[in-house]
Structure 1
Amino acid sequence: MGKLILITGVSKGLGYAMTEGFIKQGHTVIGCARSKEAIEKIKNSFSAPNDFTTVDVADEQQVEKWAVEVLSKYEPPDILINNAAIINHPAPLWEIPSEEFSKLIDINIKGVVNIIRHFVPAMVQKQQGIIVKFSSEWGRSTSAEVAPYCASKWAIEGLTQSLAQELPVGMAAIPLNPGIIHTDMLTISLGESAASYTPVSQWTLKAVPFILKLKPKDNGIPLTIPG
């Protein structure tokens, strides 16, 4: 039986790849992204019952409106994937403008919490569902010139493991490191060398079945998608 999977940040990169992968396997995807143009293209590629909406996860009012609409039409998601994130342009921490730092925190941390606040209560009421928050290699280690991104992903690790202790039996919250994949975000931080890492198409072949197999017993455990 197909699962209902909610994914944020579906316009490109891992979000788009997962959307395509899950739909190919017969599951239904409810997704959002900030770009209205990208959402229109996705709607043309993946028809109903898949459902896509322009939402900025950093804007709680937009998230709340989207949650009301989704939960009025569908059951609570079987799997909720907090994927939407941005990375800072590489620089020493003291050189990163406050506006850039704030935007990253608003999307990478507050955006995740906004999604949790407005979707997870319905999942808790059913005592069912897997909540995946994408972490990073830089959520468990650090590098120079990506301090804001590291801070946000270390926060996701702690936030998720704390949330895991609050969920009822039958649910799970999992900080999931997707691995190092050749995406636009990786190119921002590594430049041309990003191309030497795993292509998104190859990553999807392992990531989609891995996520589908997550169970309540995985609650609170930091996991990594196999390379």
Structure 2
Amino acid sequence: MLHVHCVHRLRLLLLWGSLLFGVVISSPTPRKLFGEITSPNHPKPYPNNNISTWDITVPKGFVVKLNFWQFDLEPSESCLYDYVKVAQSFLNSKQDLGRYCGQLGSATGNHPGVKEFVSKGNRMRVMFHSDFSNEENGTLIPYKGFLAYYQAVGEYESSTCRRGALGPIPNRQRPQDSSQTRSTISTELSVRFNIFFSLPRTPSPLRSGRVCPWQCP
């Protein structure tokens, strides 16, 4: 009788433990306002036959802004072999922001350059794809992949005329050469909140050097 009672208590403990564990793993993941994503093995060459997907979600009321700071993929016509694809949302694959590959200045491919990718909502998907080989005329080319930063910005932050900015800003400038190593980039990100006030009919100082006139309605 005592043995049966102990077994019953043990089963209850296991049940409580499984419920508790289930609650822990199903709890919502905090949504970060900024971060970075890299191709596999970056800054070392990325592997062949790889498909990696990043689904970025920021709090509602914000949009996702993404920039590539380093980009070094195998170039090809229409980016058929190795590529990075950016989509507005991971719920609708048709809302693509483009497919990109190649190196800065390469004759083929579609290098993103300094392009800023901005989602319409609070979600964005980035997908990396590599094929079975990175050889050219029998020579193995060690392409290093990509490094990208994303941040949550207010919906008005993504427009041309901005009065305030809420979002993390990298402390250092973008490297000019995509072959520079990751150590040349400061990964320290800070959240800045700037509010500008101006008199009617006068220009207001804006971040990034933009000046937008404001008038009374």
Fold shared per TM-score above 0.5: no
Specify which structure has the bigger relative contact order, considering alpha-carbon pairs within 8 angstroms and separated by 6 or more residues.
2
Structure 1 length normalisation: TM-score? Answer: 0.27
Question: In terms of Rg, which structure is larger?
Answer: 2
Structure 2 length normalisation: TM-score? Answer: 0.28
* Greater share of strand: 2
